[in-house]
Structure formats: structure tokens, C-alpha cells
Structure 1
């Protein structure tokens, strides 16, 4: 009987000895990057009523915080301008934790489905070519493992790593190439977080209450079918792969998703807008949110062109402040491959949005032009665009994928000419035109670009059901 009694005593003594031990979420680790010139949150656990002292090596001040009745604590540290490496020491009554090799710089979250996931393990050639050359300790990565939950989680299993050929294996190609471009242009440390899961609809990344609290969103969410490869329950990835990150200060979000919502395109602009707004509410500030319009692909939707309608829904989300959209109609060598190879260019276009709008870099026509309005002048329609400064250009002898129709809704192949920042569209078959469609099919890859070589976003000027 003595051994069980001794075991109980030993366990009791161990429990007493660690009652004041401080613990941190796993995302607070060696090699982490903190947002520069900001008030960044730190939080964790310790014994109830325990005091924790926090000593950042960039400051002469010690921050002291006390746990609440749930044995949790949370506080704020002020970060300086970009630099490092630094240490951060957490001291409790029974232990201390020292985080080493901490950098101060810019932190971005990358999320979405498989085109954001795509990496060297998927035999992505651009990344396979890049791997041997990766040697930049100013780029740090945090890879969030695929896990779902029906309830919000307060931690996950992930830690920061310095970019290297080994650590980047299996890490998002787009996320890495974004970090590479930002680091080169800004010359500060860059931390990039990859939290993505292939095949997932936007509903699983949106808080459950937001989806199920809206009859329209709930009705479309109910159309998402179970699959062995991914979750489909609203909020399940928000709970497990985003919520644990919410207090971590970030500069903004890059997003590539939409393919799994093609069949429920009607509700996507409302769903995605709600996703963005709910993330902003959770973080407590207006996160810049830059996203990719889904690429041309043969979804086999026939004449319904459902992915064109989804792209239109994505374009509508630009009405939200601090958003931007990358168009990819020129980056698809194979319409049967839903994972286009050219991830570097997608990453560069995403990075350019933030470089101009967040970091003040001077770039002209850094956004793809988007349809604004039309003018009908006799037998011609003049199309005006947003985000266009230095004119349009047609690559080739004639504009492709452009159609015009009269009030009968019968679209005819059209001719178009560029006049400065407008497009003049006409057809001998249509004497009294009322509508234009451009690149508005599942697989269209039209040849109209701005002065910076960015493709014009596909559009339609009508709202007809045909």
C-alpha cells in the first residue's frame, strides 16, 4: 500500500510546486515576429491570483500582470520600430520562460483553400526551384495545422520557424513568396502565418453565429455537402484555426478562396463580406483584407457559367473599405487544372496591394481595372472603369471574349477599341445596344490589360438570368 500513497503524495507535491507556473499559447515561441510600432497583446495561463512579470529586452520597463479567477492573464506590450533579435522573459513564482530570437517587423495572415495551401509537397515547381535558395532569417513562418472544432479554441499546436529549405517544405507557396517580396521591398522582418485548408467553403471560416443567424447564409450553408477531405460545418475552422490567433497583432490578411462556393454563388458576396467584418470585429480594428479572384477553370457548368457569377460576387466585396482584389485571368496555362502553377505572380500582386495602400510605395495601376459604368451612344456602348490611370491595351490584334446585346438579351460577338481609359464596344448585328459582357464565362482568358500589365476583371453590365 505504500507505493500508491507515495505516488499520491508525489503528484500532490508536483501540483503544488507548479501552481504558479506561467504558460503561453504555442504561437508565442522562439523566432516569432511581432508587429512593429504597435500595442501587441500577450496572454496565457498561470495559477489563480498569481503575478507574472514580463521583461522585453527592447525596453527598460517591466510589465506586471495578475491572473484572473479563471487562471488566465492578458496584457499589452509596446513594440518599437522594426529590428531585433530580442528576448522576452516571463517570470512567475515557480518558473520562467524566455522567448529568444524575437524580431519586430510586419506580420500577415494568409488563409483560404487549396490555392493558398499549394506548396512544394504538391510538386509546385516554382517552389521546388526556390527551395535550395532560401536563406533569409528575416522571414519567419507560422504554419497552422489542419484541425477543426465545434467550439472556439484558446490554443493550437504551432510554433514559429526561420525560413529555410527544410522549414518551407509543405508551407504555402503564396504565403512564402508574399513574405519574400515584402521583406525585399520594406527591408524589415516579415512574419507570415499560413492558416488554410483545401476544398473548404467560406462558411467554415466564418463564425457559426454569423452564418446560422442569417437565413440567407444559413440556407446556402446547408447546401454544402459532407466530405472526407474537409469540414463543412459553419464556424468549424474559425473556431480551431483562426480564433486562437485573434489576439495576435497582425498587419492584415491575404485570402485565396471561392472555388468551393461556386455552386452557391448567389450568397457569396454577403457571406464573404460577413466573414471580413466578423474577423475585423474579433481583432478589434479594420484589418486590410486582400483577396484573389478565382481563376478560369472548366467547372463543367455548361452555359450557366457559375464561376463567372462567383467572380462577380467577389468583385462586389470591393465596396468594403480596405479591401483589394487580384485578378488571375492571365495566369492559367491549363483550364483543367484548378491549381494554376503561377503562384509567384499571384503573391506579387497581393503584396503590391499592401505595399501601395499600407506602406506608401509609389506604383501606378497596381490594381486590376474593374467595371464602373456604361454610356450608350447610338450603336456603341462606352465602358468606364475604376482603378485605372494610364489607359488600356489589347494584347493581340483584337479584343477577345467581348459581347454586346440589345434589349432582347441576345448577345453577339462584339468589336472593341480602346480610347484612353474607356472601352468602346459595338457590333453590326446590334443597332440599339443596352448591355456588354466581357470574359463572363467559366474559362475566359481575355486579353485586355492596364498600363502595368494587369488584366481587366471580367464583368457584365446586365443582371439578366440568361
Structure 2
């Protein structure tokens, strides 16, 4: 009769063998029950299995399975068709992946639209922290919306795995999800009447260079000089990288791309929304180029064409300098605006919903709604939905006044203020380049300015200082974009 310790050893070997066997077929952690499968485009199913294993992929909407073999690196990737979503159809679906005598089943899947939400703290800002959370949270019961909060990580090399769980949107799960992302998704759901999947993958205080692949930074002379090489030349680049948060580590080049963006590149998505900039506020041309390079690199890595990228301009903030004439943050916002020169991008303005003494304004709903309006018009073709506030066109200098014209398509229904007061934060300068406040009034689709202190005006600026909270908007309720008519160089150093 075998001794007890031999029996225990045999039992351990059996259990160990079973556990090893159970792990032979593994799906990417991005693919889970409860997720939204991107409609009307090929959908990748990927994971790991022993080399040569034939993997069968069968969705309940497919007449026959797709089969692929695991490669020499024990990886597999199959591509399956996905039908177009139908309005009002929230049917639950099943996806079965089998191979080597094992099977994994993903249940409670919906077919709809999936968007990635990323950036720093104002995108991470949770729904329960917002101005209207007392009314919004109890109403956040939308099982047609699915949420994925990606776990924070850092890596020197691109990763395939990520922590996080797909969950139905409920007051409990929406509570700690991105408020901007939630409101964006809810607006899409209301307008499109199809399921919406939202992935938040970002972290507060992060800099844009952290989300750009190393080789992309290295290939651009400016980006290499400003961002990559200083890091590679520093002792920080020699440290062992772990997953722990520090305010310094989230500004290092490429680490966040590797750890929180790269794991998603096989995921079929509709597009990206982005709210970031505060950590790069001292930069100008390099930030514009950096963000455009980031967008282009994401599009290339995801391999789904020129995916739409809609982003948020930073809100007014004083940065502990109570001088209403300072404009360094305005010049940074201008650098953000220039990002939209890249195709299939769009910027949302926040000048009217900022809080000059709070870096994290709590009124996030309008931001999510404006991002959604941009997507609904630009991506989904709902051209009747206005998404742009008044944008500067040109200026006329008269003998006694100055008339500001806006692009006609941004003031189709006219101008107004959100508080019934006169428009604020207009400034006029003469040849001496000294700006003085101007009295403004609305005349039709124009703004007429009067400034007794400037006899021969040559330049106009609107909301082009660090922390103006504005009131000018079009009659669709969208705020005017800050602008300057001059091209004078910034005279004060960026802080």
C-alpha cells in the first residue's frame, strides 16, 4: 500500500498537470464576456495555445467557424466577420473558442460601437466626483453600455496583457469610470440606439510622450531631441521598471504606450477620445508634433485605417499666478488647436465650463456631450448635429470700432452669451502690441468692439489669457474658440 506522502505527491502531480492543461488555451485579457464587439468590421480573436494547435472560433452570428493554427510563438489570431448593428437591437451573443480539447466561451456580448478613452486626470476624473453626481449616478443604469477600466502599468517593452474587467454600466460600475467617457457613451447610445463599449486606459498627471512608441520618437529629429534622448541619457532610463505609480514615471517616454495602449492594438474599435495636456503645458510646436505623431502611430498600430481622434482643449486655470494678463497657457491651447490640422481629428472647447482655480473642473457632462456631438456629426454622418462653436474668420478695422467675423458655418443660428451679459474677454492692440480690454456687443453674426485706449487697432484677441471663463457661444450652446488675429511671437517664457 502506497505511503501517505507518495499519495500526496501523486495527487499534487495530477492537480498540477490538470492546472497546466487548463491554461493551454488562453484568450487575450481584452476579450471577455460582457464586452461590446465592434459592429460591421472584421473582429480579431487572439490569444495563446501550444504551437500547431488548431483553434476554432465560432460566433452565434456566423454560419460556420473560422479555424487558425497557433504559430511557433504559441500565439494565434483569427479574424471573424461581424454584422452591422441594428437600431434598438441589444441581443446578447456568444463567442466560442476551442482547441486542443479545451473550450472558452464569451457570453453576454453585444454588437455595437467601441471607443477608447485616454489621457490624464481630467479624462480619468470619476463620475462620482462630478458636479451633478447626485443626480447622474442613480440614473446610470445602462446595460447597453459596457465599461472596461484598464489597470495601470509601465513597461520598457510592448506588452500583450492588461488588467481589467468588462462590466455592464450600472450606478455601481459607472461610479469610478471616466465621467467624460460615460457622458460621451451615453450620448452615443441615445442618438444611435446601438450598444456602446468604452475602454478607459490612461492615468492622471501623464504626459503625451508617455503614450508614443519609442521608435516613433526616435525617428523624428525634434521628438527625439526634446523627449526621447534626454530620458535615455538620464539615470532614470536605467532603472528597473515596475507597475507602481509616481508622478515622475507617468511623464517618461513610451512606457505607458507599451503597457496600457499596446495591449489593445488588436481590438476592433471605432475611434479614440483624448483629454490631456496639462503635463505638457510649457511646450508649443513640439507638443503639436508629438500629439500628431501619437495619433498617427496609434492608427498605424491598430491597423484599422484613419481612425477618428477627438480631443479636449485644456480648460482655463491660473497655476497660482493671479495675473489676468498672462497668456502662456493660451499659447499652449493654441498649440493644441494646431493638432487638428491632422485629418480626421477634432477639438472640443472647454473655456465656458472651466474653473479658474480648479485644475479639475467638476462639470464634465458638457465635455462628454461635445465629444459625442463631434463624433455624431463627423463619424456617424449626422450633419444636422452642430458640434463647433464660433470660430474666428477675419476682422475689420473701422474708424471707431472693430468688427470680428466668424466662420459662417459655426454661427448659422447666430451668437449669444450663456448669461445674458455682454461678451467678455476681448482685447485690442495697436502697433505698440499692448492689449487693452474692449467693450463688446453682438451685432448679427459679428462682434463689434470699442476700445478708447487704442486709436488705431491692428490686432484682436479673444480669451487669449490663462484663465478666462467665457460666456460667448452660438445659439446651439457651443462656446467660441479662443483666438488671436496676430501672429506675434510669445513674449513671456513658458512656465
Q: Considering the TM-score relative to the shorter chain, is it more than 0.5?
A: yes
- Structure 1 residue 319 corresponds to structure 2 residue 341: yes
| Aligned pair partner of 2:25 in 2, 22, 26 | 22
Compute the displacement of 1:391 (Å). Answer: 2.5
SS in 1 for 2:142: coil
| Aligned pair partner of 1:278 in 283, 297, 302 | 297
Instruction: Return closer, same or farther for 1:172/1:397 CA change in 2, 3 Å cut-off.
Output: closer
Partner of 2:374: 353
Instruction: Return closer, same or farther for 1:18/1:192 CA change in 2, 3 Å cut-off.
Output: closer
Q: Is the 8 A contact 1:120 1:128 kept in 2?
A: no
Q: Is the 8 A contact 1:365 1:450 kept in 2?
A: no
- Structure 1 residue 268 corresponds to structure 2 residue 268: no
Q: Distance in 2 between matches of 1:307 and 1:99?
A: 47
Question: Pairwise mapping of residues 168-207 of structure 1 onto structure 2 (< 5 A)?
Answer: 168-207=174-213
Structure 2: give runs of 5+ residues left out of the alignment: 237-244
Compute the displacement of 1:151 (Å). Answer: 1.1
Partner of 2:239: none
Compute the displacement of 1:16 (Å). Answer: 8.1
Compute the displacement of 1:133 (Å). Answer: 2.6
Partner of 1:101: 108
Compute the displacement of 1:294 (Å). Answer: 0.7
Q: Is the 8 A contact 1:365 1:390 kept in 2?
A: no
Instruction: Return closer, same or farther for 1:397/1:6 CA change in 2, 3 Å cut-off.
Output: closer
Instruction: Return closer, same or farther for 1:127/1:246 CA change in 2, 3 Å cut-off.
Output: farther
Compute the displacement of 1:201 (Å). Answer: 1.0
Q: Is the 8 A contact 1:149 1:239 kept in 2?
A: yes
Partner of 2:84: 81
- Structure 1 residue 342 corresponds to structure 2 residue 342: no
Compute the displacement of 1:182 (Å). Answer: 1.2
Question: Pairwise mapping of residues 35-434 of structure 1 onto structure 2 (< 5 A)?
Answer: 35-82=38-85, 83=89, 84-120=91-127, 123-221=129-227, 228-229=246-247, 230-284=249-303, 285-300=305-320, 302=323, 303-332=325-354, 334-377=355-398, 380-386=401-407, 387-388=409-410, 389-394=412-417, 395-434=419-458
Compute the displacement of 1:11 (Å). Answer: 8.3
Q: Distance in 2 between matches of 1:339 and 1:306?
A: 19
Instruction: Give TM-score scaled by structure 1 length.
Output: 0.91
Q: Is the 8 A contact 1:371 1:459 kept in 2?
A: yes
SS in 2 for 1:231: helix
SS in 2 for 1:436: strand
Q: Deviations over 1:35-75 (max 9, x none)?
A: 11111111111110110011100111210111111111112
Q: Distance in 1 between matches of 2:48 and 2:93?
A: 23
SS in 2 for 1:48: coil
Instruction: Return closer, same or farther for 1:28/1:427 CA change in 2, 3 Å cut-off.
Output: same
Q: Distance in 2 between matches of 1:436 and 1:116?
A: 32
Instruction: Give TM-score scaled by structure 2 length.
Output: 0.86
Moved more, 341-350 or 213-222: 213-222
Equivalenced residues, count: 463
Q: Deviations over 1:98-154 (max 9, x none)?
A: 110111001111111111111156x33423432223322111111101111111101
Q: Distance in 2 between matches of 1:345 and 1:124?
A: 11
Q: Is the 8 A contact 1:33 1:191 kept in 2?
A: yes
Q: Is the 8 A contact 2:430 2:459 kept in 1?
A: yes
Structure 1: give runs of 5+ residues left out of the alignment: none
Instruction: Return closer, same or farther for 1:235/1:432 CA change in 2, 3 Å cut-off.
Output: same
SS in 2 for 1:264: coil
Q: Distance in 1 between matches of 2:481 and 2:9?
A: 73
Q: Deviations over 1:433-459 (max 9, x none)?
A: 221111111111232211211110111
